[in-house]
Each structure stands twice: as structure tokens, then as C-alpha cells.
Amino acid sequence: MANILYLGNSHPSTTSCHRANALRRLGHTVKIYDVDEMAGRLAFSKFLEPIHFRTGYRFLQTKVVKWARRVVAENPETDLIWVNSGDKFGPECMAEFKKRGVPIILYNNDDPTGGRDGGRFNSLLASLPFYDLCVVMREVNVEEFKEKGAKKVLRVMMSYDEIIHKPFIDPADIPQSFRSEVVFIGTWMRHEKRDEFILKLINSGLPLAIYGERWEKSPYFKELKHYYRGKGLSGRDYVAAIQGAKICLGLLSKGNRDLHTQRSMEVPYAGGLLCAERTSEHTELYKEYAEAIFWSDANECILVCKQLLANHTMRNTITAAGKQRANQNKNGNEDVCYQILKGVNLMERTDVQLQYIK
């Protein structure tokens, strides 16, 4: 089994940490260095962080390189370096990691070549030739990464976590405060018009519950405030809000060129009914009207939600079938991490992880 140096966010609520723990369940030794915490410390001030974000962290690179030298020196037994996101690391920094002489994997579940986040990924894109394997979530990224010098690109799907997103065995254990008719869990984004979409649903009479960051910035927050239940959820609260809802909305980020999202995997696995925008990837993942519900616009979404709310048997049947299909699709962190390690010939399984693989 490998000694993996994992460079990502170590907070237990993050998908970065979920993947690191999945690698441990696969039998590997994983040492995490929190890159976001490091960058925040080097930036000195939270007021400077937006500037670093928009400029691809280029003005932090001298300090980041020194940090990288220390990390490499502290980990002489490393067999593999796994970089989550990679937006903080420029070419000079990557050259320090290459000195360790082991494979380096980039895992990025954003859309670095899509342009939504301005210059955030400038340092990353200049560093793509240093990675032995770049892992992306969108088919469009594959050729775009290769055009930027990536040697090998693997496309995988977004993933749920087999442990974190496991549904409640007894739904009666879900607190009443997390029960709802129709729920949306996600961040307000200025250019995505999620607020306008949800307001149309509310004005049609649908009973909505909204969780997520930045909704108070919406120009429609006065109308939405009554339906807003609080900021983003994690852990068992997140699962409770999914499983405790009759319908879970799945909205995409057009700026990120999404055809599916993390919610597309997490909702059915966690015991929720996925009601999402109809895309080629969604219809490949789940059979429409059998394992999930899809729509093309707000009017169709309103129609199908009202049908589902009026039909308890249909909801339960689709929810159960969606959960079964999610298991069959094998888009959990353990399976996806195994697939990635196979890409750099670190693929041996052990008895330790076999008890977790479903």
C-alpha cells in the first residue's frame, strides 16, 4: 500500500477530506496538508484573499514555493502526491514536488478551462505539464487540458461518499426540523439566476425549503427569506435534509458547464428523490421517471413536483430505484479513488478496504 501525501482541504465537511478518508479505507497511508489554511495564512489578511483568488495566487507563489520545499523535506517516504484543486500551485512550486520523484495526481472538480472564475486557475493551468495524471469531471475538459500540456487526463464522474452520505436506517430518526416538501441545498450565485428559478416555483404554490451560502445577497431575498432555513449543511444534517425531503432539486452551474453535479450522486445515494435539470449525463445516470425526475425549465419543474407531491407511491418507488441505481453506478469515493490510482498503477486492494466497497 502507498504512502500518499495529500494536498487539499482537511476540514471534515469537505469533499477533499472525504476523498482522503476514502483513500485510507482503500488501505493507504494518507498525510494531509491543508492547502487552503496555508494560503489563508500566507495571505495575511482575509481582505487580500479575493485579490489572490482573481489573480491565480501568483503574488503568493514565492511563499508557496518555500512551503512546498518544507512539505517535500518532511515526507521522505512518499509514494504518491495527490493534489486537490491545485489552484494555489504554480510551475515553480510543482517543480519542488517533482523532486520527490513520485507520481503526482491532480484532482479538480471545478471547470478550470471554463472561465467562470476569472483568473483563479491561471497558476494551475500553467502547471498542468508537471502532473502525471489530471483528473477532471467534464468531458470538455479532457482535450482542453491536453491542449494546455497535460500528459494524461482521466475523466471521472462526481462522487458521493459511502460513509458520510449513508442514509438513516430508520427514517423516523430524521429530526422534524430537517423535513420538507421540496428542498434545494446550494449556494446563491450572482449570474446563475437560481433565485429567479426558485421564486417561480414558490409563486406557483410549491412549498420550498432553501439551505446554502450567500442567499442574503440575492436581490429577491425579501421574497425568499421566509423559505430560507440557513447556511450550507454537512454531515448527518446534510443527509437528514435530503432524506427528510419529499423532493430534492438539482440545479446546475452553467458557468461551470455542468451536465451533472455532486448532488446528482449524493441525493439518490442518501435516500432522496432527485428532481434535476434534464441533461445527457443525467439521463445516462438515471432512467427518467423510474430512478429520477428531470425537467427542462421552471414550468416543467413545477408540473412534475406537483405530480410527485400528490403521489406518495410514485415518490417512494422512484426514490428506492434511484438509490439502487446509485449503488450500481459505483460513483462512490472508494470506487472513483480506486479508478484514479489505477491510472498511475497504484491499484492493489486489501482486505481492509473490501469491507467498505459495496
Report how far residue 258's alpha carbon sits from residue 264's, in angstroms, rounded to the nearest whole number: 11
| CA R_g for the chain | 21
Contacts of 152 (CB under 8 A, 6+ apart): 132, 133, 134, 343
Question: Does residue 188 contact residue 214 with C-beta atoms inside 8 Å?
Answer: yes
Q: What's the average model confidence in pLDDT over 248-260?
A: 95
Single-letter code of the amino acid located at 127:
S
**Residue 247 to residue 293: CA distance in whole angstroms:** 9
Q: Tens of pLDDT along 176-204?
A: 999 999 999 999 998 899 999 999 999 99
Instruction: Report the pLDDT averaged over residues 248-271.
Output: 96
* pLDDT(357) > 70: no
Q: What is the per-residue pLDDT for 44?
A: 65
* Predicted local confidence at residue 355, as pLDDT: 34
Length, in residues, of the chain: 358
State phi, psi for 238 to the nearest 5 degrees: -65, -45
Nearest to 289 by CA among 299, 298, 276: 276
Q: Give the pLDDT of residue 146.
A: 98
CB 227 within 8 A of CB 209: yes
Which residue, among 159, 164, 133, has the nearest Cα to 146 in the 3D structure?
A: 133
Classify residue 35 by burial, with Cβ atoms within 10 Å: 0-12, 13-18, 19+: buried
**Whether pLDDT at 350 is above 90:** no
Average predicted confidence (pLDDT) for the chain: 94
CA gap 165, 256 in Å, rounded: 24
Q: What secondary structure letter does DSSP report for 186? A: -
Cα 317–chain centre separation: 27
- Ramachandran angles phi, psi of 20, nearest 5°: -60, -40
pLDDT tens digit sequence for 76-132: 999 999 999 999 999 999 999 999 999 999 999 999 999 888 899 999 999 999 999
pLDDT digits (tens, 9 = 90+) for 206-247: 999 999 999 999 999 999 999 999 999 999 999 999 999 999
**Quick one: pLDDT band at residue 319, thresholds 50, 70, 90?**
very high
Helices (H), 129-259: 139-147, 194-203, 221-224, 235-243
Mean pLDDT confidence for 275-298: 98
Is pLDDT of 297 > 60?
yes
- The answer to whether the beta carbons of residues 164 and 15 sit under 8 Å apart is no
pLDDT higher than threshold 50 for residue 352: no
Give the DSSP H or E segment for 106. Answer: strand 104-107
Beta-carbon contacts of 208 under 8 Å, excluding residues fewer than 6 positions away, are: 180, 181, 182, 183, 184, 198, 201, 202, 227
